[in-house]
Structure 1
Amino acid sequence: MTKLVAAPLRAVNNRPALSVAEQQYYLKRLANLSQRVAIHSVSNINNTDNHLVLPQGRQLQADELNNLPLASLEYDFDKNLHIEGQITADTIPGHFKLMIEADSHIKSFSEAHHSLERIAPYCEILASHPSLLTKLTCLSYCYPHAFKNALFTAWLGVICAELKKDPVAQTQALFLSALLQGLGLLFLPSSISLEAKNLTAEERVTLHAYPTLGYKLLVGHKKISDDVARAILEHRENLDGSGYPTGKLGNNISPTAQLLNVLSSLHAAYTYRLKPACRPISALASIIKMNGHTRFGRSGIKLIEVLQDEKATYEATLPSEVMPEFIALVRETFGYLKQCIERAESLSVAIGFRHNNSQLYALQNRIIHIDIAITQSEVINDAYLRLMEHIEKKQLTHAYGEIEDTFLRMHEVVFHIEKLRQSLAVFAEENPAENEHVQTVREGLQELDRIAAPSISAALKATWIGPVTSQRHDNL
């Protein structure tokens, strides 16, 4: 597979620019997309010598797009393209409205905070970026989940910023960063899958380059601020050093990137855990609290204050007839987590801290994060297990909703344990040389893999327990 290491096509303001090889992947996506929807040239497309390449008003075919002479085209040549369903400054509010209308909980939260009115002024700034809007349209077709994530993070980010009375320029930067965060994906080979179960080390390195590609794209646009470009570069970095592309730590990550990271994480938590269980947006406050100390920092605290403004009671949504099985599953999940934590802590101790390996420190930070998340959950402990036994024995049905919430918090920890497993496997794969630390990591991974996950009955799988517990493969 071709790696994205080609020399830059040219520098823009002495900054790195996308290479011809990287831009060619984008052209291939446009070419493939032209076989699904119409793509027209709305103005003449000329090369840098002002010679006509494609005339205005033409529906472009796949071979024409594939064969465009990238080396001699303007950096933002696609501002002259129009994709069927093109996103514009005028139509983007409609995309936000569709997202809001499709989910009753998001709609309720949105109406309470007048979000469409808040977002409208920020949508207008997109009119200055026709080339980026073409790419955003392409993203919506090629990576629909990434586009939904962009809408969600921009939407919730603006609500948070407006309620906290952040400066307008700061909120504009957050809004643009949120919408444009996934554009780097368009410059990856289409063979790289976001859902693949087993990426090779080379594929993983290529995928994790997408924030860098997004940055290289944006520094070529004069009207994009340095804050936005940097946020795109760093939005997958985690405070504990376990992110990418460079594994930055703490306040070395820009504030906008930190908030973007939090918002994207919350979108995943809501989409894959809370929404199936019919929990409202405000339920994200407990997820933020669990992750706040090691992953979300001050950005998370701001969001908790906003989310807790919405008063909500979480009633049980599982059928009463499956409750005995469900409570048994909660017990089994607690036991599973307990075993995993014991193995992970033993691994961290075995590695020790007398090393100078940033990957190992990131692994150990993941383990610390899991420990703190369990403590911050306030319910993943022996005391709550005893309370649950009392609830079950006395059939206190009014407390069943709380047990469901406990299970959802447990699966937030399960998610982080799976991420730890992935990180251990990556370390073992990328460090094949036999040495003490590599062998220790491999043994730790084997011990974790030997712990059997709780079995789930068919009756429970038929409820929201099924989608919440199913393995989700998202390599981002």
Structure 2
Amino acid sequence: MSRDQQSFVSSERSPVWSPLQVGAYADYLALLSATNPVVAVEDILARDGELLLTQASLLDQKSIVRLKNKMLARPLADSIRIEKTITAGDLLQHLLDTIRSTEYFQSLAERKHPLSSLEPVCAMLSDLPLVQQFLTVMAAQMNDLYHRTLCVSLWSLYIAQEMRLPAHDSGEIFLAALTHDVGMLHLNPQILHKPDELTADDWQHVQSHVDISTKILRDIPGVSPAIVTAVTEHHERCDGTGYPFAKVESELSIPGQILAVADAIVGIYFNRFKAQGRRWREVIPVLEMNRAAYLYRSCDIVTTMILRSELPLPNLVSGSGVPEFAERMLQQNLHLQNWFTQLRECLTSVGYTHGDRKLHALQNVVLHIATTFKGSLLFKEDLRESLESMASEEADSISKVVADASLVQQEMAFHLQRLSRMMQMYISSGEGKDPKITQRLQDGFTKISGYIGSSTNTPQS
């Protein structure tokens, strides 16, 4: 899962999940079985001893019905075999295809990271049949997630290599990246593909993928504690605004933070830039705006790697489209300023002596946003004057400064959306220590709710 789905959540309130329950994963297996047979390798029993499926039974749509609403004696993944799973050789080929079809990865491989460096880490998959199973299901039933996982794995490996970590550690970081989202296979597809704005409960369900991935990996022979820790931490942030435990930098592992920044930049690229035909180079201004959230060294390495590729910035808009673009940016700036003012007033009006750690985390995000964007070029007078001039008379193209400002603008919209959602989840959790403060926040959120999702430049989460 990408960084565009971050928000505040209490780990104690994460939905309870057990590897013994039958859910979305069983449905994915049944769909896969139509083209790639999935067979029970043992009798599948309910926890109370009831025989549900006999050994050698085919898992199809009909047989899966017998497992519904049952708690199994053993995890379903341990009791089945897929006829053809993704092998180490298949994984290597999929990574090579990803590199050759992606201008940035191809440039990077040519300059610094030879394709041969992938062979040893892919070979590790041969000793992990359950991971092979999960990747096979993901590739068949959630192909977009699988492709993103390959990209996160490449980024994680390259960052680890740039940091000159030992080969063993780099390999473990690669495996953590490869498995960090296996929990998504167990989430409700209706929520994952919901066309409407997700509710606080929906976000809590989505965020539970971290806990599910952790539980799954912890029980797989050959998966080290370091890999499990990295997966658990891939949505944690150095400034304490991540989940599920809101850890800070001193509490986080290096592998976890390498995976975190790799997952984040892939999310930024796929959720915002790819559909617009934009390039990896444009991730840099966004990453610069978020240095407090990620390990500084990894941010520097990512920036260096992207610049090393020497890919040029595309021209976002030109000719007759420039005035409209500039006017839209001016209106968006005003919208964002008003939105942030409402959020800041709401969250700071309750004071700082309440002793509520979760509320303090929300207030820290406000301070982070204020500090980050105060020093940015977004609200500088010369930028406003430049935009007003562009809006009033046709120009051939926009400048690099304006192009970067548009990225910063999108980033601020993301942060305000995220903070608004964090605030909503805090209010709905019922865990506020002071009912009066919670009510004040609720009143404030009512005013803010009109801003959420109304921004034309706001990236889709």
Separation in structure 2 between the aligned mates of residue 4 and residue 453 of structure 1, nearest angstrom: 26
**Contact 2:322–2:398 (CA<8 Å) still a contact in 1?**
no
Given the two structures, how large is their TM-score scaled by the length of structure 2? 0.83
Q: 37, 40, 47: which one pairs with 1:39?
A: 37
Identify the residue that residue 29 of structure 1 maps to in structure 2.
28
In structure 2, the CA distance between the partners of 1:192 and 1:74, relative to structure 1 (3 Å rule), is closer
Cα distance per residue 1:382-404 (max 9 Å; x no partner): 33223444667787646534423
Which 10-residue stretch deviates more, 366-375 or 405-414? 366-375
Identify the residue that residue 227 of structure 2 maps to in structure 1.
228
Separation in structure 1 between the aligned mates of residue 163 and residue 395 of structure 2, nearest angstrom: 40
Identify the residue that residue 460 of structure 2 maps to in structure 1.
472
Output aligned runs, 1:400-439, within 5 Å.
400-431=399-430, 435-439=435-439
Query: Which amino acid in structure 2 is aligned with residue 382 of structure 1?
Result: E
Query: Which amino acid in structure 1 is aligned with residue 281 of structure 2?
Result: S
**Contact 1:242–1:362 (CA<8 Å) still a contact in 2?**
yes
How far does residue 155 in structure 1 lie from its aligned partner after superposition?
0.9
Cα distance per residue 1:211-253 (max 9 Å; x no partner): 1111111111221110101111221222233322222232222
Cα distance per residue 1:285-337 (max 9 Å; x no partner): 22211100234544323322322323344242324111111111111122222
Identify the residue that residue 447 of structure 2 maps to in structure 1.
447
Query: Which amino acid in structure 1 is aligned with residue 303 of structure 2?
Result: I
Identify the residue that residue 171 of structure 1 maps to in structure 2.
170
Separation in structure 2 between the aligned mates of residue 136 and residue 248 of structure 1, nearest angstrom: 29
In structure 2, the CA distance between the partners of 1:338 and 1:102, relative to structure 1 (3 Å rule), is same
DSSP 3-state at the match of 2:308: coil
**Contact 2:319–2:397 (CA<8 Å) still a contact in 1?**
no
Tell me whether 1:80 sits opposite 2:81 in the alignment.
yes
Separation in structure 1 between the aligned mates of residue 118 and residue 158 of structure 2, nearest angstrom: 8
Tell me whether 1:299 sits opposite 2:302 in the alignment.
no
Tell me whether 1:285 sits opposite 2:284 in the alignment.
yes
The count of corresponding residues between Structure 1 and Structure 2 is 440
Query: Which amino acid in structure 1 is aligned with residue 211 of structure 2?
Result: T
Cα distance per residue 1:52-111 (max 9 Å; x no partner): 9434xx75433445557984557863573235xx32211112222333344434444444
Cα distance per residue 1:327-372 (max 9 Å; x no partner): 1111112222222222222223212211222221221122223223
Identify the residue that residue 135 of structure 1 maps to in structure 2.
134
Tell me whether 1:359 sits opposite 2:358 in the alignment.
yes
DSSP 3-state at the match of 1:329: helix
**Contact 1:428–1:438 (CA<8 Å) still a contact in 2?**
yes
Output aligned runs, 1:254-273, within 5 Å.
254-273=253-272
Separation in structure 1 between the aligned mates of residue 245 and residue 345 of structure 2, nearest angstrom: 27
Separation in structure 2 between the aligned mates of residue 356 and residue 179 of structure 1, nearest angstrom: 39
**Contact 1:184–1:214 (CA<8 Å) still a contact in 2?**
yes
Separation in structure 2 between the aligned mates of residue 184 and residue 401 of structure 1, nearest angstrom: 40
DSSP 3-state at the match of 1:80: strand
Query: Which amino acid in structure 2 is aligned with residue 400 of structure 1?
Result: S
**Contact 2:236–2:246 (CA<8 Å) still a contact in 1?**
yes
Identify the residue that residue 7 of structure 2 maps to in structure 1.
none
Identify the residue that residue 121 of structure 2 maps to in structure 1.
122
Output aligned runs, 1:53-64, within 5 Å.
53-55=54-56, 60-64=59-63
DSSP 3-state at the match of 1:90: helix
Query: Which amino acid in structure 2 is aligned with residue 214 of structure 1?
Result: S
Query: Which amino acid in structure 1 is aligned with residue 460 of structure 2?
Result: R
Structure 2 runs not aligned, ≥5 long? 1-13, 46-50
Identify the residue that residue 216 of structure 1 maps to in structure 2.
215
Separation in structure 1 between the aligned mates of residue 389 and residue 91 of structure 2, nearest angstrom: 51
Identify the residue that residue 48 of structure 2 maps to in structure 1.
none
Identify the residue that residue 10 of structure 1 maps to in structure 2.
none
Tell me whether 1:323 sits opposite 2:322 in the alignment.
yes
Percent of pairs identical after alignment? Answer: 20
Identify the residue that residue 466 of structure 1 maps to in structure 2.
none
Query: Which amino acid in structure 2 is aligned with residue 281 of structure 1?
Result: W
Identify the residue that residue 11 of structure 1 maps to in structure 2.
none
**Contact 1:294–1:369 (CA<8 Å) still a contact in 2?**
no
In structure 2, the CA distance between the partners of 1:90 and 1:377, relative to structure 1 (3 Å rule), is farther
In structure 2, the CA distance between the partners of 1:237 and 1:195, relative to structure 1 (3 Å rule), is farther
Separation in structure 1 between the aligned mates of residue 400 and residue 295 of structure 2, nearest angstrom: 26
**Contact 2:87–2:125 (CA<8 Å) still a contact in 1?**
yes
How far does residue 422 in structure 1 lie from its aligned partner after superposition?
1.2
DSSP 3-state at the match of 1:419: helix
Cα distance per residue 1:172-198 (max 9 Å; x no partner): 111111110111122334454254535
Query: Which structure carries more relative contact order (alpha carbon 8 Å, separation 6+)?
Result: 2
Identify the residue that residue 462 of structure 1 maps to in structure 2.
none
Output aligned runs, 1:178-193, within 5 Å.
178-193=177-192
Query: Which amino acid in structure 2 is aligned with residue 427 of structure 1?
Result: Y
Separation in structure 1 between the aligned mates of residue 453 and residue 205 of structure 2, nearest angstrom: 31
Separation in structure 1 between the aligned mates of residue 71 and residue 343 of structure 2, nearest angstrom: 50
Which 10-residue stretch deviates more, 421-430 or 62-71? 62-71
Query: Which amino acid in structure 2 is aligned with residue 472 of structure 1?
Result: Q
In structure 2, the CA distance between the partners of 1:455 and 1:355, relative to structure 1 (3 Å rule), is closer
In structure 2, the CA distance between the partners of 1:139 and 1:97, relative to structure 1 (3 Å rule), is same
Which 10-residue stretch deviates more, 445-454 or 402-411? 445-454
Which 10-residue stretch deviates more, 23-32 or 242-251? 23-32
How far does residue 116 in structure 1 lie from its aligned partner after superposition?
3.2
DSSP 3-state at the match of 1:326: helix
DSSP 3-state at the match of 2:83: strand
How far does residue 415 in structure 1 lie from its aligned partner after superposition?
1.1
**Contact 2:326–2:390 (CA<8 Å) still a contact in 1?**
no
Identify the residue that residue 337 of structure 2 maps to in structure 1.
338
Separation in structure 2 between the aligned mates of residue 235 and residue 60 of structure 1, nearest angstrom: 33
Separation in structure 2 between the aligned mates of residue 70 and residue 90 of structure 1, nearest angstrom: 35
